[in-house]
Amino acid sequence: MTVTDVNVDELVASFPDKVKKNRKRHIVKKNESAGSCPQIEANTRTVPGIITQRGCCYAGCKGVVVGPIKDMISITHGPIGCAYYSWGTRRNKARADDRTPPEQIYSTMCFSTDMQESDIVFGGEKKLAKMIDEVVEIFHPRAINVCSTCPIGLIGDDLGAVAKAAEEKHGIPVIPYNCEGYKGVSQSAGHHIANNQIMEHIIGTGTEELDGKYIVNLLGEYNIGGDGWVIEQLLEEIGYKVNSILTGDSAYVNIRNLHKVHLNLVQCHRSINYIAEMMETKYGTPWLKINFIGIEATIESLRDIAQCFGDEELIARTELVIERELAAVTPELERYRKICRGKTAFSFVGGSRSHHYQYLLRDLGMEVVVAGYEFAHRDDYEGREVIPTIKSDADTKNIPELHLEPDPEMYREPNLHLNMSKEKYDELVASGRLGYYKGMYPDMIDGGIMIDDANHYETEELIEIFKPDLIFTGIKDKYVSHKMGVPSKQMHSYDYSGPYTCFRGAVTFARDIANALSTPAWKMITPPWEQSETKRT
């Protein structure tokens, strides 16, 4: 079946009528001739019982955003389960450096208040307070995060009050996150809560003067398998100083100084665009959406960053590095391209990655025919221009919005951050580079399917229909695709591979993909005696 023949109705045929209607709104077929993106429903409640792949608010807050901050102790306040589930599952690598010694790294550890029945009945505030005392006594961390799980919201523990008292007692920041799992409709709510608290409590508290002519933050990069390190190294070779990655391999001591940079780079749009936007409002820091997944994408991103500073020397050095890296990776890539060319894939991962990986796969001659997100919003699919038209519902209203004003002391006009004239800056904005993300739709293949919050059932149906060569997804549906005879790549942990970013990462990725596509065992599934029988009939 060619991509254009797919009938969306068939996909959802098994559901009851009401569910069918709901699910159809989450599925959009790319139609090149129709021009702009049709509206897709996203960031709305999942229908109970349809086996969504979505996680919860706590997962987005602790599991994704605050967990990887290496020098903070992140305490999970609640019964024991949730702490375990968010313990190191995303391979966010961290290392010691000149500011953070190895004994100050806690991100690989798991802390829980392990609440028992009596704590649920009588409240868990005292236990939490005592636990913070202990943690401070044992580890002397620079700062502490406290993330709450479902029952906390119900029994009414005042996280804020406990945190404030602890802060006064111990003289270190203790930051509360009311990220109970039932809040919002997916992980996305947790990203937002984490962004708000980091913005309110950490960013802007640093007073150090940073060293460097072109200083950037790399927001929304989680350093899975070392992805962030590869980007950082490349940027520093060209002449940038990376103050902090957020939040892969990040440290509290660096996040404090986030506002001291010239430009924010945004890799994952969904999980971190709040901070990017809020920093622009409060400090005037401009932000640029970049993508370091894929050769072409990396080249474009590097050129865009150089353009933002407009320094001829920087631009020249960028080209030099691009040329050198391309020469280094092209011969090996060519070998894998021969295996990958013409193959199709599904991509269900992340808050921008289903989009990002389309670039890398295109570099290898592959096409993504179905792509989607668990927790994206409409702007991640359709582009940021739809943001003003998104209606906020009861679930979004439950997540507090920070209404920020320009900081009276620290705000500087965005063009001054980049050391350029207002006119030149406006030009950059108008060209769509700064402060903009176009979403996934423009890059989808004609006839391809964009699906939001795909559930288990739909994924299986889509595999039956498209019979893709490879599926990029999380671990929950990985084995479904295996059982259906389609190799898959686990994109939350990279199946213990990586890094996949920039030039050399693309080679590692291509090698993994070529291996997955060409492993002979996949062709040996049917035993020879059954093969001859089929031939006879």
Partner 1 sequence: MTDCTVTTRVRQVNENQCHMCMPLGGVVALRGVEHSIALVHGSQGCSTYMRLANVEHFNEPIDIASSSLNEKQTIFGGEANLRKALDNVIRVYQPKVIGIMTSCLAETMGDDIERFIETYKNDREIREIDIIPVSTPSYNGTHTEGFWATTRAVVAYYARPTERHPGINVIVPNISPADIREIKRILDLMGLEYTLLPDYSLTLDRPFGGRYQKIAPGGTSTAGIARMAGAQATIQFGLTCPEPLSPGLFLEQQFGVPLINLPLPIGLDSMDLFVRTLHDLSRRPVPESLVLERGWLCDGMADAHKINAGARPAIYGEPELIYALAKLCMENGSIPAVIASGTQNSGLVGLLQPLLKDALEEPVILEEADFVTIEEAAVRKGANLAIGHSGGRYLTERQGIPGVRVGYPIHDRIGGQRILSVGYTGTLAFLDRFTNTLLEAKHGSYRRLRKEEMLNKKGVSNAKA
Active site members: 56, 59, 90, 191
Contact 141, 72 (CB under 8 A): yes
CB atoms within 10 A of CB 342: 9
HSE-CB of 212 using CA atoms within 13 angstroms: 19
| CA gap 269, 512 in Å, rounded | 26
389: nearest Cα among 378, 375, 373, 374? 378
* Residue 405 burial by Cβ neighbours in a 10 Å radius (0-12, 13-18, 19+): exposed
Size of the site for partner 1 (CB under 8 A): 79
Alpha carbon 530 to its chain centroid, in Å, reads 45
Three-state DSSP state, 368: strand
Stretch 116-135 residues interacting with partner 1 (CB under 8 A)? 116-117, 119-120, 127, 130-131, 134-135
| CA gap 269, 259 in Å, rounded | 19
Residue type for position 215: I
Nearer to partner 1, 169 or 335 (CB): 169
In the complex, least distance from residue 493 CB atom to partner 1, rounded to whole angstroms = 9
Nearer to partner 1, 56 or 94 (CB): 56
The correct pick among 401, 475, 531, 533 for binding partner 1 (CB under 8 A) is 475
* Residue 483 burial by Cβ neighbours in a 10 Å radius (0-12, 13-18, 19+): exposed
The correct pick among 4, 32, 81, 169 for binding partner 1 (CB under 8 A) is 81
The correct pick among 480, 504, 511, 512 for binding partner 1 (CB under 8 A) is 480
Nearer to partner 1, 17 or 209 (CB): 17
| CA gap 300, 120 in Å, rounded | 53
Stretch 360-399 residues interacting with partner 1 (CB under 8 A)? 394-395, 398
In the complex, least distance from residue 312 CB atom to partner 1, rounded to whole angstroms = 48
- Going by their DSSP bridges, the two strands 470-473 and 488-490 should be labelled as parallel
In the complex, least distance from residue 359 CB atom to partner 1, rounded to whole angstroms = 28
Stretch 161-190 residues interacting with partner 1 (CB under 8 A)? 180-186
Instruction: Please give the structure tokens belonging to residue 405.
Output: 């004003």
Is the backbone peptide bond immediately before 176 cis, with ω within 30 degrees of 0? no
The correct pick among 7, 14, 519, 531 for binding partner 1 (CB under 8 A) is 14
Stretch 281-320 residues interacting with partner 1 (CB under 8 A)? none
Three-state DSSP state, 370: strand
In the complex, least distance from residue 219 CB atom to partner 1, rounded to whole angstroms = 24
Nearer to partner 1, 110 or 387 (CB): 110
H/E stretch holding 247: strand 241-247
Q: Which residues pair with 263 in a beta bridge?
A: 216
Stretch 82-101 residues interacting with partner 1 (CB under 8 A)? 82-87, 89
Which range of residues in 191-199, 292-300, 438-446, 468-476 is near partner 1 by CB under 8 A? Answer: 468-476
Nearer to partner 1, 7 or 108 (CB): 108
- Could you tell me which residues come within 8 angstroms of residue 183 by beta carbon, excluding any fewer than 6 positions away? 57, 153, 189, 190, 193, 398, 399
The correct pick among 11, 69, 150, 242 for binding partner 1 (CB under 8 A) is 150
| CA gap 251, 255 in Å, rounded | 6
| HEC sequence for 423-465 | HHHHHHHHCCCECCCCCCHHHCCCCCEEEECCEHHHHHHHHHH
In the complex, least distance from residue 469 CB atom to partner 1, rounded to whole angstroms = 17
In the complex, least distance from residue 250 CB atom to partner 1, rounded to whole angstroms = 21
Nearer to partner 1, 176 or 435 (CB): 176
The correct pick among 96, 105, 155, 416 for binding partner 1 (CB under 8 A) is 155
In the complex, least distance from residue 374 CB atom to partner 1, rounded to whole angstroms = 9
The correct pick among 59, 163, 266, 329 for binding partner 1 (CB under 8 A) is 59
Query: Counting runs of H as helices and runs of E as strands, what totals does the chain give?
Result: 23, 14
Nearer to partner 1, 31 or 46 (CB): 46
Stretch 17-36 residues interacting with partner 1 (CB under 8 A)? 19
By CB under 8 A, residue 525 contacts partner 1: yes
In the complex, least distance from residue 129 CB atom to partner 1, rounded to whole angstroms = 9
Nearer to partner 1, 154 or 316 (CB): 154
| CA gap 194, 247 in Å, rounded | 11
For residue 85, report the phi and psi dihedrals to the nearest 5 degrees: -65, -25
Instruction: Please give the structure tokens belonging to residue 525.
Output: 């599934």
Which range of residues in 25-33, 78-86, 169-177, 325-333 is near partner 1 by CB under 8 A? Answer: 78-86
In the complex, least distance from residue 59 CB atom to partner 1, rounded to whole angstroms = 5
By CB under 8 A, residue 55 contacts partner 1: yes
Length of the chain as a residue count: 537
Nearer to partner 1, 436 or 457 (CB): 457
| CA gap 486, 101 in Å, rounded | 44
Which range of residues in 103-111, 297-305, 306-314, 407-415 is near partner 1 by CB under 8 A? Answer: 103-111
